[in-house]
Chains A and B, each alone.
Chain A
């Protein structure tokens, strides 16, 4: 019998008590928190209509953060949990061991930090900004319970979709689909008294299609639907308002059409580009979402994902400055539906909407409690981890360009000579996100307000600030899309985030093959 998420009803008081009492027994332990999560899920994958894999299982893990020592320092411990570990006696013993290991690391680290302080005076004790300490229970919200959908149904849906994609045209070389549906429930307890129980469902469908015409390179498409909801996502209640089958067939038709299209050539200079909401999903992710994460602001990601073009130092940064045209707004909001939805972040901070760019002016950064304390900002609840066994890091949530007032059709119609950039594909960003090249699935030539020709293998490149400043039209067609695979941290954590925006018009260089 596999463990159910309901097991946390029984464990919750014991987990809270164990953390609260054991923390007090440790010398010089300033803070401790614990996340214990369990997810139940079903998944299936298929290729060309053939079944490949099904799973009906659970995952459980916990992670402990401790701040201890005279010169307060962090220590962390995480581990996976099995069925037998989810019994009161066993989990109590594992949590105590986990706290002890994290504490030992924090003490060793604090000792070294104090020794080093003599030659490195910026070393400082860890300080967390104050938050409202919450006790709450947040149940999962769905129309069709993922746990009540049979494994056979998940598999049959996956097989049927990949079969119909493959049968659409002889140019289709290969199709694959994957579906995952389930619920994750996580407890958060802290030595400050937080006691939060939050459950989130997740349903996602992934399609992959490769098509080839003649001797040309195969055209490949990878895309997904998904949200923090139940099986209704697969049946059509998603951001595309399409069933998984219709979504997959639409992507396949696009791929077939593109496989016969001409390759886009790189332009010598800037051209007028109209970018659609799906393309702007990745654009806002890369040039607004990541550079406003406060760990990048504080240079903590320099060795990995880079710094931020928005912040050089306390004295030289873009806070309060114009970084975009007055038409541009951007926000990060975990309280609205999307892949970045939650009520509390991984530090127990209540979620809230953050206006990142207001009328083209940079307003603030996404943060956690430690970074907020360093920057002197209010904590805004943007810490997450991929699993409970991993240390939380700053993450964008549902981060998007805000809507404008213009009809997207008229945004295109006003263009005499330009390009319409449709649906994002792959990004490449410079070290501080000050420059980007992002490929699109489709690029159309616009002549006298009309789409006259389709190209493949294209996208745009520009300096981030120059592009944002060039925006002269913002559509009223706002949409939020799921991004399931944002990689960050060491060890790498793959996180789901929501991104989106309306149609935008600006200037960039075309990047072709």
Chain B
């Protein structure tokens, strides 16, 4: 395990060394150590299984240099990195690569400036940094225990599937630049995402727990929640194809946000002309009740960081305000390229994420942190149900994709769990899972909002890095189509 102090010393020594190179104009040195531990669950009551399938981890550390170099009349920029090496030789190697990998890119303006002060200090959990193998394995079994206890208490012992994982991400980084940025960050993230099925009842439920500290992390509660959710939907019914008023719960709203909406509110998508909101900055694109912003500085949220991977303190970036498009997620590169289109927002989303955290091998791209979705007039769930009156409560969707590309805004998805019919303003019978496909467009969702709940929940979906602090949201006239059920 590499200490943060080692990373800080490495970036300081590296910058001193780089400054001796006369051809280097500016440089950014980023060093990181990451460890991703995954405890994957696989319990099947009717098939031989392992329960906790495979406790595993991927670890890496190293250093990356982004340097601007003068070549004749023009400035060229290059990036190089080294793995498992924080020595002077490693720095020389990375710098040699950065020089070899240099290109002339007219859109690269300069490195980020020092801006404001970070909101956080020492917010990670030291006990997670010291966690032992046995303890990590135990967290996985706790999640399984929570699910099985809840199922057994209600007499469900056969036809059971419990899957998902407990994941622990430990990240350390330090950054120093010729523009005066000199900072570091340490984060610990814990997530439990559990799915329970009672196959012969054709029901599936999900539960999750997220946090930054071991003391408040409850994988067994995630297991229990998943089991209870599955049991609640026994006896599901099908519905007819057509346009329905629906409530999207926390998970489906997060799935739509992570796979369709947030990628469309990213300057890299603007750069590639791949967003349905091209040229619409300052225009009303949604119900006036809606706001969306990104904020990496919310205490206790798992998407929070002290600084970005470009050394900029995290903070709030407004995206949609009173239904109007007011901004895009940005890193330094795109913020400078599009500075006239941005209302001069500070680029607070420059991160170098890869599979196992903040990766020294990458240049900073654009990644969301915590995305908050809310309404100016928020309501309770009961009131939202009354507003919908007759419709569908959708609790979990799957495989949400912008089916004709992000620019068109069309998306499709299937309803796989945790869903109910709404009758007379109340939750009625469960909806049979895997029998409905959603076929709609993100602009339809944004412009047909019936209401938004005040109560929100931090939610993460498979394959996405950001946390969505999601309310439940009611939308009118969403196209739902019948499909075959499992083995149907």
Contacts and interface: CB of A to CB of B under 8 A. Distances in A.
Contacts of A434: 434, 483-488
Contacts of B483: 430, 434-435, 463
B437 to A, nearest CB: 7
B48 interface: yes
B355 A492 contact: yes
Contact of B407 (A53, A116, A220): A220
Contact of A490 (B57, B60, B105, B462): B462
Q: Which of B81, B363, B486 has the most CB of A within 10 A?
A: B486
Contacts of B152: 119
B189 interface: no
Contacts, number: 301
B264 to A, nearest CB: 12
B93 A122 contact: no
Contacts of A185: none
A303 B165 contact: yes
A143 interface: no
A312 B106 contact: no
A312 B50 contact: no
Interface in B100-153: 100-107, 133-134, 136-138, 141, 144-145, 148, 152
A212 B274 CA distance: 11
Interface stretch (A69-77, A336-344, A347-355): A69-77
Contact of A513 (B100, B274, B356, B404): B404
Given A78-B57, A434-B485, A439-B404, A210 B273 contact: yes
Nearest to A100: B133
Interface string A261-292: 00000100000000000000000000000000
A437 interface: yes
Contact of A208 (B45, B52, B145, B272): B272
Contacts of A490: 38, 40, 165, 167, 462
A103 to B, nearest CB: 9
25 contacts: A52-B105, A56-B97, A77-B56, A104-B134, A109-B137, A113-B50, A210-B273, A218-B273, A220-B272, A220-B405, A300-B42, A316-B487, A426-B405, A430-B399, A430-B414, A434-B484, A435-B437, A437-B412, A439-B403, A457-B404, A458-B404, A459-B404, A461-B437, A461-B481, A464-B484
B450 to A, nearest CB: 24
Interface in B410-447: 410, 412-414, 416, 433-434, 437, 439, 441
Interface string A478-490: 0000000001001
Q: Which of B46, B100, B163, B400 has the most CB of A within 10 A?
A: B163
A73 B55 CA distance: 10
Contact of B51 (A82, A84, A120, A487): A120
B219 interface: no
Interface of B: 36, 38, 40-62, 78-85, 90, 93, 97, 100-107, 133-134, 136-138, 141, 144-145, 148, 152, 161, 163-165, 167, 193-195, 197, 199, 204, 271-274, 276, 278, 355-356, 363, 398-410, 412-414, 416, 433-434, 437, 439, 441, 462-463, 481, 483-488
A172 to B, nearest CB: 10
Contacts of B416: 306, 430-431
Contact of A78 (B58, B100, B414, B439): B58
Nearest to B195: A303
A246 interface: no
A79 B80 CA distance: 20
Nearest to A373: B48
Contacts of A131: none
B395 to A, nearest CB: 14
Contacts of A429: 399, 414
Contacts of A52: 103, 105
A428 B50 contact: no
Given A80-B83, A425-B404, A430 B40 contact: no
A105 B36 contact: no
Contacts of B52: 73, 109, 112-113
A76 B38 CA distance: 10
A112 B399 contact: no
A76 B414 contact: no
Contacts of A513: 404, 408, 410, 441
Interface residues on A, range: 35 or more
Contact of A81 (B58, B83, B164, B402): B83
B24 to A, nearest CB: 18
Nearest to B137: A108
Contacts of B36: 491
B433 A303 contact: no
A429 B105 CA distance: 40
A431 B103 contact: no
A357 to B, nearest CB: 17
Nearest to A46: B103
A350 B413 CA distance: 38
A105 B137 contact: yes
Contacts of B82: 82-83
Interface in A27-71: 47, 50-57, 60
A210 B103 contact: no
Contacts of A432: 434, 486-487
A109 B55 contact: yes
Contact of B138 (A112, A439, A491): A112
